[in-house]
Structure formats: structure tokens, C-alpha cells
Structure 1
Amino acid sequence: MSQSRAFLRAQQRRRDAEQRREVRLRRAALGALVVAGAAAPSASAATFPVSNLADAGAGSLRQAILDANAAPGADEVTFAAGLTGQISLASQIPVADALTITGPSAGGIVLDGGGTTRLLDATAALTVSDLTLRNGDAGGGSGGAIAVSGSPLRLTDVTVTGSTASRGGGVYVSGNSVEISGTTMTGNTATYSGGALTTDGNSSVVASDRLTISDSVFSGNTSAANGGGVALYDNYVDTLVQRTTIDGNTVTGNGSSFEDGGGIWIEDTYNGRSTTVRDSTITGNTTPDAGGGIAFGENFYGPTEVVGSTITGNTAAVGGGVSMADDEPLAGLTAFAVRNSTITGNTATQTGGGLSIGYASGSSDGDTAVVGTVLAGNTASGGAPDLFRRPGHTGTITVGNSLLQDPTGATFTEAPAGTVITGVDPRLGALADNGGPTRTRLPLVGSPLRDAGVASGLTADQRGRTRTVDIPGVADAAGSDGTDIGAAELQVNAIPTIAGPASAAVDEDTPVTIAGLSVTDPDDTGAAGTATFAVDRGTVSLALAGATGNGTGTVTVSATRAALNAALAGGALTYAPAPDSTAGATLTVTYDDGVTDETGTRGTAVPRTVTLDVRAINDAPTLAVPGAQRTVAGGSFAFGTLGGNAIRVADVDATTVSVTLVTGGGTLRLPTADGLAFQEGAPSGATRLRFTGAVAAVNAALDGLAYTAPAGRSAPDRVDVTVDDQGGTGAGGVLSAAAAVPVTIAPTVTPAGSPVLCGEPVVLRPVLTGTRVQFTGVTLPAYAGRQVEVRSGSTVVARTTVAADGTFSRTIKAPPKRRQASVTYKAVVANTGSPTYRLVRRVTMTQEGTRLTGRLRLSRQIRRGTTGILYVDTSCGGRKRAAKITLARDGRFTATVSRPSQGFAVYRVRIRVSRTLVTWTAPLIVLPGSAR
């Protein structure tokens, strides 16, 4: 070391000796105070309560401490439950015997020196927790709030603020171990060193002594000389600063060369003891000399490290981030190491914006290693912005598995070779709360820091998160073990997985529970994820709160993984196949845990597919039959589509069906037997028919099925219809359907001297076959041999003769397709002397009991409000007035009429349209309760 530097060091040691003399004098004075004010000694250690906020007297903190001083052994001072507020001290309180001062766990007790006195002065072991110490003033001495000489100090969850001293504006400890945790020291001032805290060791320590600062904050403190926030000097113990923030502290300068360490200054470590700054953030600190963030002075005779820490935004003349002046050579060891740290955005007004190694003059021979560290974005007006070796440093500087953005002016050895990234932006996010006790800068997406470093034996990053995390899809850089360079290791969201069966059996038309599905997520946070269940055929439902889309092809739900798995295990997921379909389906399950990890990757599971195999199940046939039918004894009618009374069968999965038709006496005739095989009866006429055939052939035969009532019968009959599918095409056996069609038979009544119908038209049951229309008329036994006309409207389309049994039939050419749905055919039996009626318009009437309703199609002349007369035939050619009617808006009318004395009645409507024109509607046979 140069002569000028030696002179300065000697000057500092003289100052240190003066400070130690002050400690000895203070210890002697404290002993006298204790003797003068102590109570009688107690037989054993005790707890002394504080019951008020007074400065002195019974129940005061001062009295409790004096009583504890006088009692042998380690004692404790506590505060009465519910006691909160400020204790204003007029003078310092001496602590002469081992003492623990325990404040309320909720806080609320403040010791205030009013800016005129130190608060606590200890010459024995002192432990303080859950208190606020403020506005202490050592009056030119050390330790504005607390001074401890030759004894250990432990602070837990303590706040020290607004205090002033020469050294250790807030706290000063000499000659023993220090443990500080969960403590905040802010706004304190030292006129010399250690704005918040100064420790000053001596050679009388034992191996168990240590200096530890954990989970604490040193912010906004000021000193004139070394250590704007913290000054740790003459350390004969292992020194550890961990999970601590040192932020916004300042060395203002005093005109000497001892103006180092804007945030923290550490110097002189002996006996091979280690010095470590770990998992901490040093930011926004300033000094006019060396080490804006951290200044390591000289005489480090043990390993010294900065590990897993973020040092950013600090300012100094040299070593804006970190300065290591004198790391002594260690046999077989690296004297100074910076491992897995982030040193960025620091400023040097001279050289070494990020990291400076060595004295300005003199020699410092220890070796330095920079491993897995970011040195980037630092600036230095005099050059070497990121890394600087000062003149006189003779040790080696190795850099490996690191990013050195600007190597200008840097002298180092790359080891291992090819592992240092240079000239590249590290792509770091801003300093922020990224989890953990201290703020960090995370690599951004695409950062070259990813998977380019080495873990160096670390298992956690600065935040306490897992290290190493090898990022999928990012190739490890040369020499890397997959660790990220820097203090923060990007965490990868473990991708959830979906477990479940490869397939599931489903019965046709039968909903089934899909069992065996579950979601696993190794780093489940308990937050809601999103699951979807989609099928390409059929529908799916999930009985879980928040599920949407139930009964459709896709269900979506947002729920915690635990809730989702519980629902799935409980049978909440059901699948319903498409109706009457045996086509299989695929269920696709997706899950997103809702987390986008620090690499920008979303936690989306690989979709799980389940093949749904649908087993064919025999579907029962269906049967459609009309309502009750009516005819007269010996009369006939046909079941058919054009008549609106068809019998039809259907079966979605049967190729052949069997049909059984049975009556109670009436005769059944089929218009066709094509494609049918008969087991009972003949298609030409029988009371019981049983046949098989394809569904289409069966329906063709039933369309036109004729029923003939027994002659002379008036008792009701019925047609029983049964269809079975002969086992269909699936499992389940033979299924069938059955129905009955009641048939009302009115007796044939022939009025004396008059034919039954007297020229009235009879509605036929035409059957359309291809391009022909086949008629099967009602039976007219009273008109055997008489001629009958088949009319469409007023046009006679065919003439035929009534057979001896009263039947008649005729085949004509079918009308065009566009008219087939609206054509009505009528048969009129000629009757000499019967009146002739002009067919103008059709009327529909229905009689139920004595109430008759009808509807007439309106026109310009026949409209709402038109009145008319309802007549009923009395005999052939005769009629009588039955009721007056008025047409409603839709052409409807109602009338109350007498119950027919015979089995049927014929009604007519007459409308007077003008003075000269009287129009009659086409007369219709209206049986009681029937509709035509």
C-alpha cells in the first residue's frame, strides 16, 4: 500500500482508538448509574412489566429496566396489554444486565428522545423487539438510538428513525455479535460513519459470535464518511447481510478519503471469517468516492462474496455499483467473488460504473471471480463502464457464464472460455416486486440471460424461488447448466396434465357419465383455471357451478382444480349421444391454469381426447293413427293421406316390420300388397291381417286401407293396429307399438218414398297411386244399379254404377301435383226430380251435440258481418230453416241446432249477396260430432 494510503489508515485507527476509549468511559459511567438507581437485587431472573408511558417512576420503562439491572440473570421487560403510545425520554436509559425488551406484537410503543438524548445505552446483552425508536441523539457520541459496548445486540421487528450520532446514527455496536432481523432503519444521520448502523469489532470475541442482518430495510440514511446506510468495521466474526434492502442512502462527504459505500461499507475482516451479501437489493445509494452501492475496503482475510443480489441505480466516483479495494490472497481460495447477481444501471463519475476492483494506488493481490452475473447498462465517464481493474491490482479477475454488455476498458480472463456474452442488451425488466422479500429485475421474453449461466451450488434465486429452472424450448448456452444469468431465475409454470380413459362405452340414446378424468398441476396456486369439454357429435353437460353451454356440444367452466376434480370424480360430466345415432364421437378436454409464467408461457395442458363408442340399441317403432272414424251400417271409408286420416308406422333402425290389423267385425282391404309377405288374412278383405315388409312398403299399403262396416250393424267397432320391429338392428330385443282407431257406425235409415241421399254428394276417399286416382266409395246398398257421378267441384270427372252390394269404384287420371293437396272429389247419386244446386264455394261444418260450428271462405262480396240462413234438409228436396248466422272476421259462424233424429243430417248455408243473386254452398253430410 502507498505511504499516503498508510498515513490515512493510521489516522483512521487513531480515530477508532478514541471511539473505543469513549466506550470504556461510558461503560464505567453506566455502572455508577446502576448502583445509584437500582432496587434491591432479586433472587432470580424476572419479568418487569411497563404499565404506563411515563419517563420515570413506578410502572415506567425506565424503572422496569433499572429493576432488571439490579436483578441477577437475564430478565425481560414487557408492556401491559393494550398499552400504546409514546414514551418521551429526558435522558438515556442504561442497560447493565442481560435484558430483553419485548414490545406489543401489534406494535404501538414508541421511544422518543426528542432529538436531545440517546435512548438506550447497554453494556450487557440486549434484545429488543416490536418497538419504534426515534429522535435519539448521542450528542457527538455513537449510537443515536442504541449504543451497545462489548455485548451482543439483537433487534427483531424494530424501527429506528430520525436519530443522530457521530457513528451509527441509529445504532452502534462494538466488540460483540449483532443480529438484526425484520428491522427498518430510516432517516438517521451520522456525522462520521454509518448513517443508520455502525458495528466495530474487537479481538475479544468468541467463535460463536456473528454479525447478521436479515430481512431488513436501510433507507434514506446519511453519513458524512463511510457507509451512508451501514458501516461494518473490524469484523472478527462471520458477516452476513441477507434478504435486505439498502435503498436511497447517501455519503455526503467530509473532505477526507473515507467517503466510501453509499449504501454499505465493509472493511477489515480477520481470522479467516467470511463476509457475504446475499439475496439483497442495493439501489439508489450515492457516495462521492468508491462503491456507490457496496464498498469493500481493505484487509479481507476471509472469503468475501456478493451472491444472488441486485445492485442497481447507485452512484460513485469509482465503482458505481460495487468497489472491492483490497482482497487479500487466500491459499486455494478465491478472495472475492460476485456470483449470480445483477449489477446494472449504476453510474461512476470516473471509472468502473458497475464493478471496480483494486486501489487507486498500492497493491491488492487477491483473486476475483465473476460467475453467472449480469454487468450491463452501467456508465462511467472515465471509461470501463461495466468492469474496471484499478492500477495496482495484481490478482486475477476471471469472468465466466456471465453477460458483460460493454467490455470496453475491462481486463479479465474468460473462464470457462466462450461463456461470456458481450455486446448484447440483457433485456431486463424494471426493478420491481417480483415476489420474495426484495425487489429484482427479471429477464424479459427473449432475454439472452435465459439458460446461459450456472447455478454455482445455489438452489434458490434472490427471491427464494427454485434455481435451476431449465426453460423448455430455450437451448442452454455454452457451458451453462440451464441456470439463468443474474440474481433472478425465471420460473416456468408447470404445465398441467389431464388424465383420463382412452375410450368410453355409450349406449344409443342413453346419457352416460364420463368417469376417470382428472387434472394434475404440480405448482397449483389454488386459483381458478378454465376447462372445456367439447364433443363433435351429441351433447355434453357438467354439473358444476359456473358451467356454461350445458346441453350443447361445448361446455366451459372456470373453477379451481380441486373443485373441478371433485366434480369429475362425483360423476358431474355426462355425455348424451345424438338421437337415434350409432355414430361414435370424440370428447376433447382442455385445461388452462390461468397462469402466464415469467417466460411468457401459458399453463395450457395438452388436450385429452376420449373416444366415445356408441353401441346400437334397438329403438321401438312408432305408430300414428287418426282419431275416431264414422260411417253407416254397410258403409265404407278409407284411411289415407289425402283424407287426413292415414295410419303410418315408423322405425329409425328397423329394416323390416310386422303389422297386425284386427277389427271387431268390419272388413279391411289393402289397396296394394307390393313388397309384403302375409302371415294372416288376404289383402282383398279380412277382419284380421298380419303382414311383414319394409317400412315404406307397409306405409304404401296402409295409405288407402278401406274399412267396410257390417250391414245392419249400429254397434261401434274399432281397428286395432300393432307393429313390431322384429328386433331391429341393435341390442334390446323385439319392441312394438299398438293403437286402436274407434269406428262409430250409424244405422242406415231410408225415409219413406225417398232415397237416402237424394242427390247429395258423398265425400270419397281417393287414393293417389302414381299418376292415377283410385276411388273406393262408401257403400250405397239402397242404390244398387243406380248411376253415380264423381265430381271435382262442379265438373263431372267420371260416371259409374253402384254394384249389387252397394259399392262402387273408378280410376281416373290424377290432377297436376300443384293441385293434389286441394282437390276434393264427391259422388252424387242421380235422383229424378231432385233439385239442382250450383256449387259456388265450400263450407266446413262440425256438429257436436246441438252446437254446430262452420267456416266459410271470405271474398269481396262475402265478408265479415255478412248474414245468412242455415238450413237442414227435411226430405229429398225439402229443407227447413235451422238458424240465422253471422260471419266473423275469419269466416267462422256458430249455430245451435236440433240433434239429428236420424243417424246424420245435411245442412246448407244460403247467403244473400245482392237483390238479384242468391248463392248456395255445396251441401255436406254432417254426422254428429264429425268434421268434413
Structure 2
Amino acid sequence: MRANPFPIPTALILSALALSGAAVADDFHVDSLFDDGVGSLRAAIAFANQTPGPDRIVFHGDLAGKTLWIDAPAPVISEAVEVIGPAGGAATVRSTGNDRVLSVVTDWGAIVVLRDLVLADGGLLNQSGGCLSIQGASVLLDRVRVTGCKAAHGGAISAQLGAILELQDSRIDHNRAVWSGGGIRTDGALFVGRSEIDHNTVDGFGRGGGIAFWPFADNQSMLWILDSHLHHNAATSSDPAGASLGGALDAGNGRLRVERSSFYANRARHGAALSRSGNVDLPMDARLVNSTFAGNVGDDVVSIAQGEVALEYSTISANIRDGGEGVARAFDSPATVSVRIAGSVVSGNYPGQDGIDLASGERRIDADYSLIGVAGLGSVDAANPGTNRFGIVDPRLRALGWNGGPTPTMPPMADSPLIDAGGDADLPATDQRGSARLVGSAADIGAVEDDGDRLFADAFDGAPADG
């Protein structure tokens, strides 16, 4: 097995936990729905900014489910602080519509934590970070929803100037950007864990409907998406002749890892689910493991223009196009990049449409123990299949649905050619659902290991994926 080139980014996680468990300098309480005055969130932030050391801002339990309105200018957090929403249910902090909801501007590395809150309806279309703008800080959003925001870049959240952003059990939804990052735009490290990025749009320049990840200064910054689902995001262009990239994710420079996650029903002209571009002279690598890409709409679904990429024990199937010219491509590496596919399904895309499953530029793709439907000329050596299976256009998968685990999946049917057809190269310990990976005589190809539950193997097993 290859060594894992992606160390777990524990620094922010451990820092946040340390902040939660450490003795704090002071507690400041929020018990008012008003924008200013005693007991308001704005007043608590001002007091915390003036007090040295990591402080806490604690919402009173009576504010659970209530709405606090924020007028312009938005409050600015400038020191390390933990903001804790009310017990019993999140409070909504809502902008009156003339500014973002919060700004965080600190020295590099200061820790800011937001818990159990909803940030809503902030932003102007000539600024970045519609509801939350971050500069310099390391910010953890834990059980936070950011919704209904708009901006030029980062419709919901913008993280800049070395900021680090972590999402845990959070949701970024129904936000809009004009140029990039309908949900999130960041130039630093980003971790998305057990979270949902959905129904975000970018509709001007058209890059990154859900997330735009473009680390400029540090090309080794990392984006890690784990146990999360990105769906119904869209990148479109206001120029009919212009391209739109990365319906769910446009990842530029830096390192990318996607693990046990689903990308579905996203839309863009190129990289309907994921676009991987960047500067040709900078090293980049990506690894997509135990993940599913289904129901995305575009000329290609996963587009790898720069860097190295490994697709391991994942499923790319049931993707479609709506209009467009030429041949659609589910997994497309148009440039001379190094691509390795192991134990994965790339088949069953564009049914009844003009499309292929796998395409490459001038460099042949290295594949093993994979099932590939329609392969483009020169992408693989179909005459020498080795451990692969080529030309099978129906992998016999159930429809995308909730089949256990934190994300929707497409398990194999009882008669699927994927069952017991995998190998042990780069074999994860579990499948996308977190179930045992090795069941039977060999691992299965694709993101889900068949567990022998075939009572409903007629494709009606599991609830359908949500809208």
C-alpha cells in the first residue's frame, strides 16, 4: 500500500478543544434581542475584544429559537473568543440586509469558535463574506448554519489572509456569490467534517458554486472534506460564452482530500461536481476516497486540469448533461496530469446521451481493479484489461439514497459485477458508510461494500437522497 500523503490536520481541532476546556478570562452574557446596549451580542463582543485572553460569550437559554437583528456596521471580533449559542436550540443572528452579520479580524492564529448559531441574510454584492468575513484567525464553526447570504466572493463565508476555517456538523446553504464561492471562498486551509454544503450559487464569473478553494501564497494549504455531502450547488456564467467551473467545488492550488463524502445534483459547465485547476508551475495533489459522484449536470463531472489525482474505491455514475455541445465526459483529465484509479466505478453516465465515462489528455491513466464503462481513446489500454473491467456500461447500482452512514450512497445490487471484484491496493478499512470494507472473498469495487442485505435489492432499498 502507498503511504498516505495527507496527514490529518489536527492543529485547529486540538486548538479548539483546548480553548473549550481551558480556563477563560471572562464570560460575557447575551440575553437581549436588541442590536446594542446591555446584554446585546454587539456589547458582549466589544467587552471580549477589550479583555486579554480567550473569553467566552454565552447566550441565555431563553434566546433558543429567537432572532437577534444586527444593523450595519457588523460587529468585529478582534480577539480569541468562544461564542456559545443558547442551550435548547440555536439562536438566529440576522442582518438587516445592509452589511454582513459578523467580521473576524485578528492576529494570525487567534482561535475563534462559534457554536449553536444561525447566521442569516447578510451581505452586499460588492464585498466578500456575505454573512461572515474572516481575516487571520483560525475559526471553528460547530453546529452552525449560514444561510441566505450574498457577496461578490464567498456568498456565506470568506476566509482570507492566512485564515483557517473548520466546519463540524454545520450547514452552508442557499447563499449566492457573483464571482466565486457561492457558499465559501477561502485562500487558506479548510476542513469540512460531517457537514452539508447545498443550494449555493455563483452566477457571474462562475467558479465554485459551493466552495472556491484558492490558496495563493501557500500552495501546500489543504482542503479536506470528510463525511459530508455537497449537493444542488451551481456555478453559472453571466456571459453565455463564458465557462463555469466547479458546481460544488472549484479547487485551485494546494492539496485536496475528499473522503466518505457525496457530491450530487450539482451543476456547472465544467466540473459539475469538482473542478481541479490552478497554476501549472505549482505542485498540487488530490485524493478522492470512498466517495460518490452522482446526478451532477454538466459537460464533465470531475475535471482535473492540473496536478496529480488518485480516485480510490469511489463511484462516479448516473451523471447527466443538459444541452451542451460535443462529447460529455464523466471523469476528465484534459491536460498531461498523473491520474491513478483504484477499485473505483466510472460507468453508467450519460445514459442515452452523447458521452463517455473516462477521458484523458496525452497521458494514459493508471487503473487497477476498477470498472470503467466507455473509455475515451488513449485513456486506458482496453486491450489489456489486467485487473480492470472495461466496457460494462451498467454497473448495477441502486439509486442514490440513504443506506446508512452520514451521506447518501449507491450500493451494488445483488447481481452487480462490482461484488468481490476489487483488490487490496489502497484498501480503506471501511466503505463510505463506515461499514467494514472487506466482506466476502474480496473487496467490492466502488464506494460501498455489499453487506449481504439483499432483501430490497431491487433498487428500492434506502430512502432517496434529499432535495
Q: What TM bracket, shorter-length normalisation?
A: 0.7 to 0.9
1:286 alignment counterpart: 267
> Does 1:466 pair with 2:436?
yes
How far 1:469 sits from its partner (Å)?
1.1
Kindly indicate whether residue 61 of structure 2 is the aligned counterpart of residue 81 of structure 1.
yes
Residues in 2 aligned to 1:598 and 1:104: alpha-carbon distance in whole angstroms:
44
Structure 1 stretches lacking a partner, 5+ long: 1-43, 202-209, 328-334, 359-363, 472-481, 494-594, 601-932
The 5 Å alignment of 1:7-18 reads none
How many Å apart are 1:259 and its aligned residue?
1.9
- 1:188 maps to 175
Q: Is the 8 A contact 2:31 2:62 kept in 1?
A: no
Listed as ranges, the matches of 1:322-401 within 5 Å are 322-327=302-307, 335-348=308-321, 349=324, 350-358=326-334, 364-379=335-350, 384-389=355-360, 393-401=361-369
Q: Is the partner of 2:88 in helix, strand or coil?
A: coil
Partner of 2:447: 487
Q: TM-score, normalised by structure 2?
A: 0.84
* 1:131 maps onto 2:117 in alignment: yes
How far off is 1:351 after superposition?
A: 3.2
- Greater alpha carbon shift after TM alignment, 97-106 vs 60-69: 97-106
1:276 and 1:386 map into 2 onto residues whose CA distance is 22
1:223 aligns with 2:202: yes
Structure 2 stretches lacking a partner, 5+ long: 1-23, 460-467
Q: By how many angstroms is 1:352 displaced? A: 4.1
CA RMSD of aligned residues (A): 2.3
The answer on whether the counterparts of 2:284 and 2:306 sit within 8 Å (CA) in structure 1 is no
Number of matched pairs: 416
Change (3 A) 1:410 1:114: farther
- The offset of 1:597, in angstroms, is 9.1
Cα displacement string for residues 402-443 of structure 1 (whole angstroms, at most 9, x for unaligned residues): 111223546224698422212322111000100000000010
Matches within 5 A, 1:669-708: none
Deviation digits for residues 478-534 of structure 1 (CA, Å, limit 9, x no counterpart): xxxx111110111147xxxxxxxxxxxxxxxxxxxxxxxxxxxxxxxxxxxxxxxxx
Cross-structure match for 1:588: none
Matched residue type, 2:438: T
Q: CA offset at residue 383 of structure 1?
A: 5.4
Do the aligned partners of 1:260 and 1:295 also contact (CA within 8 Å) in 2?
yes
Give the partner amino acid of 2:49: N
Residue matched to 1:423? 391
Question: Does the C-alpha gap of structure 1 residues 397 and 292 become closer, same or farther in structure 2, counting only changes over 3 Å?
Answer: same
Q: How is 1:882-901 mapped onto 2 (pairs within 5 angstroms)?
A: none
Equivalent AA in structure 1 for residue 389 of structure 2: I
Change (3 A) 1:490 1:597: farther
Whether the 8 Å CA contact 1:180–1:216 is kept in 2: the answer is yes
Partner of residue 185, structure 2? 198
The code of the aligned residue for 1:489 comes to: E
2: distance between equivalents of 1:179 and 1:215? 11
Letter in 2 for 1:279: R
Report the CA distance between 1:375 and its aligned residue: 1.1
Is the CA contact 2:150–2:156 (under 8 Å) kept in the aligned structure 1? Answer: yes
Residue among 216, 228, 243 paired with 1:244: 228
The match for 1:920 is none
> Which residue does the alignment assign to 1:765?
none
State the AA in 2 paired with 1:487. Answer: A
C-alpha separation between the residues in 1 aligned to 2:432 and 2:86?
Answer: 31
Contact residue 61 and residue 87 of structure 2 kept, 8 A: no
In structure 1, distance between residues paired with 2:227 and 2:37: 41
Distance 1:599 1:250, change over 3 A: closer
For the residue of structure 1 that corresponds to 2:214, the secondary structure is strand
Q: Where do residues 778-857 of structure 1 align in structure 2 (5 Å cutoff)?
A: none
Structure-2 residue corresponding to 1:171:
157
Using CA pairs under 8 Å that are at least 6 residues apart, name the structure with larger relative contact order, 1 or 2.
Answer: 2
- C-alpha distance in structure 1 between counterparts of 2:80 and 2:363, whole Å: 46
Retained in 2: the 8 A contact 1:243–1:280? yes
Report the Cα distance in structure 1 between the residues aligned to 2:430 and 2:292, rounded to whole angstroms.
Answer: 14
Partner Cα separation in structure 2 for residue 139 and residue 257 of structure 1: 20
Structure 1 equivalent of residue 13 of structure 2 = none
Q: Distance in 2 between matches of 1:76 and 1:379?
A: 52
Label 1:454 to 1:377 Cα distance change in 2 as closer, same or farther (>3 A): same
Q: Deviations over 1:726-767 (max 9, x none)?
A: xxxxxxxxxxxxxxxxxxxxxxxxxxxxxxxxxxxxxxxxxx
CA distances 1:587-629 after superposition (whole Å, capped 9, x unpaired): xxxxxxxx959799xxxxxxxxxxxxxxxxxxxxxxxxxxxxx
Shift of residue 446, structure 1, vs aligned partner:
0.8
User: Retained in 2: the 8 A contact 1:165–1:191?
Assistant: yes
User: Is 1:159–2:127 an aligned residue pair?
Assistant: no
For residue 156 of structure 1, give the secondary structure of its aligned residue in structure 2. Answer: strand
Taking the aligned partners of 2:384 and 2:376, their CA distance within structure 1 comes to 20
Matching residue's letter, 1:457: L
Match among 257, 266, 286 for residue 276 of structure 1:
257
Do the aligned partners of residues 139 and 70 (structure 1) sit closer, same or farther apart at CA in structure 2, a change above 3 Å counting? farther
1:62 counterpart residue number: 42
Distance 1:352 1:599 in 2: 29
Say yes or no: does 1:308 pair with 2:290.
yes
Q: Distance in 2 between matches of 1:379 and 1:190?
A: 29
Q: Which residue identity lines up with residue 239 of structure 1 in the other structure?
A: L
User: Equivalent residue of 1:76, what SS?
Assistant: strand
Q: What residue number does 1:453 align with? A: 422
Letter in 2 for 1:283: Y
Q: Which amino acid aligns with 1:355?
A: F
Give the distance between the partners of 2:277 and 2:375, measured in 1 at CA: 25
1:382 shift after superposition: 9.2
TM-score normalized by the length of structure 1: 0.43
- 2:258 is aligned with what amino acid? V
Shift of 1:139: 4.5
Contact 2:286 2:309 in 1 (8 A): yes
